[in-house]
Amino acid sequence: MPNPTAAMLVIGDEILSGRTRDANMHHLAGQLTSVGIDLKEVRVVSDDRSAIISAVQALSSAYSHVFTSGGIGPTHDDITADCIAAAFDTPIDVRDDARAVLQVHYDRSGTDLNAARLRMARIPDGAALIDNPVSAAPGFTLGNVHVMAGVPSIFTAMVASVLPTLTGGDPLISRTLRIERGEGDIAGPLGELASAHPELSFGSYPFQKDGRYGSNIVIRGTDAAALEAALSALSAAFPSA
Amino acid sequence: MPNPTAAMLVIGDEILSGRTRDANMHHLAGQLTSVGIDLKEVRVVSDDRSAIISAVQALSSAYSHVFTSGGIGPTHDDITADCIAAAFDTPIDVRDDARAVLQVHYDRSGTDLNAARLRMARIPDGAALIDNPVSAAPGFTLGNVHVMAGVPSIFTAMVASVLPTLTGGDPLISRTLRIERGEGDIAGPLGELASAHPELSFGSYPFQKDGRYGSNIVIRGTDAAALEAALSALSAAFPSA
């Protein structure tokens, strides 16, 4: 059975303006790979209602899962929850279960659960809450879309909350061979090996260090035996590696 | 006149598997902002022919400029140039001007310009070469799509080569006000200010430090006077900031 597929949608003007360097994509990519879900596409869009809605609809119909990051805080530019509801044509309002989570959290610190903070309890009908052990305000899953915060520590915690609830396929394994030859010398034998092993993927990631050229060849797949066979063949082709 | 718009297309399995952390998006975002081109969307796709072609077609018809990174090296998984040609239904082959650039480069180091390296001279008909002062193999511009390498040092050099050839709009300026209050307290006054200044954008980027909550409020726009007026109003609303 092929692995489930996934896309990520990063929401936020701050990434597109270059003010903030996104860290969540790299984290999610590694996590999904480790549980056997294939991340196939990432999109970054601005805090714009129609851009978010179209991206959610396109990605949720094309992939098994969609993971979003950003735009679920208390300020006026946090419009993700409402856009997800609109994308699925589902009503959204402050929900009692989410409000209760926030109430407990803010009572503890003696902070007023004012109208702005209460926006974080706006959850679409039928969505399941995603636990946020860092700052309480929950994420949610609606259909195949998992909606999470953009702050990296909270995003990471929410990914840890939601991943065990999903069914992964076979974990993707990878082996790397460092070859100290120019990519132009490696390309021929590598291409032949890739043709002989359609069940594996072969990537070449060149480097230049101390004036010497080389490349890390990464072989990926779910079949450990095929992977080892390909690695042996490649090592044999470049005995100095 | 509104600023030109742009999208970026990052091509590479290594980003989606989590093996490599993309650095080019953050660099390009900052460079485009500084010259007044609005980066509206980023997509990351795998080394898959149909995924690359559809993304190029969608983005090039929606935005003024498209910048791609990755997939223009000598190995079999470097299929970007051929996909760009296919997206524009344009012939592609080894081109004499690109071959000459490579020949000079490899002659200098006494390296053979073999068939694999010659793949890097495959340039679509009608494309303009983008100078690569780092490792010679050129990028190219076809239509409104600027095709560049994924290795960050080369990507950066190619961006520096191509940006001066594009017409930017008014540079986007930004001012930041650090407010040591929870976002929930800031949200009300900030929302009112955003409504009063539709020509500006307001972002709130919360932080927690030494047990204290706060947020950096970033105001962006092209009208310096409006920006200063909004900043003054916000400072007045939070006198302790």
Summarised one tens digit per residue, pLDDT across range B2-38 is 889 999 999 999 999 999 999 999 999 999 998 889 9
Contact flag A41-B41 (C-beta cutoff 8 Å): no
User: Same structural domain for residues B112 and B44?
Assistant: yes
User: Same structural domain for residues A44 and A143?
Assistant: yes
Please report the beta strands in A86-230, taking only residues with DSSP state E, as ranges in sequence order: 92-94, 122-124, 128-130, 139-142, 145-148, 173-179, 201-209, 212-221
Contact flag B25-A44 (C-beta cutoff 8 Å): yes
User: Same structural domain for residues A178 and A158?
Assistant: no
User: Same structural domain for residues B92 and B155?
Assistant: yes
User: Same structural domain for residues A185 and A100?
Assistant: no
Q: Which of A120, A146, A165 is the last residue of a domain?
A: A165
* A7: confidence class by pLDDT, cuts 50, 70, 90: very high
Q: Which of A149, A165, A181 is the last residue of a domain?
A: A165
The pLDDT value given to residue B172 = 67
Domains identified in chain B, total number: 2
- Chain A: residue whose CA lies nearest to B73: A183
Residues of B in contact with A74 (CB under 8 A): 183-184, 187
Q: Range with the lowest mean pLDDT among A161-165, B20-24, B127-131?
A: A161-165
Domain holding B198, by residue range, is 173-237
User: Same structural domain for residues B87 and B119?
Assistant: yes
65-94 in chain A: CB under 8 A from chain B: 73-77
Contact flag B29-A16 (C-beta cutoff 8 Å): yes
Residues of B in contact with A35 (CB under 8 A): none
Contact flag A33-B51 (C-beta cutoff 8 Å): no
User: Same structural domain for residues A160 and A193?
Assistant: no
Question: Does A144 lie at the interface with B, CB-CB under 8 angstroms?
Answer: no
Q: How far apart (Å, rounded) are the C-alpha atoms in residues A203 and A194?
A: 9
Q: Which of B115, B147, B165 is the last residue of a domain?
A: B165
- Find out whether B216 and B207 touch, Cβ atoms under 8 Å: yes
pTM: 0.82
The pLDDT value given to residue A176 = 82
- Chain A: residue whose CA lies nearest to B202: A77
What is the CATH classification number for the domain harbouring A52?
Answer: 3.40.980.10
Percent of chain A residues topping a pLDDT of 70: 97
Tell which of A8, A40, A72, A75 to mutate to test the B interface (max B CBs under 10 Å): A75
User: Same structural domain for residues A135 and A220?
Assistant: no
Tell me the sheet residues that pair with B217.
B177, B204
What is the CATH classification number for the domain harbouring A230?
Answer: 3.30.70.600
User: Same structural domain for residues B16 and B117?
Assistant: yes
Contact flag A17-B172 (C-beta cutoff 8 Å): yes
User: Same structural domain for residues B99 and B190?
Assistant: no
DSSP assigned state of A179 = E
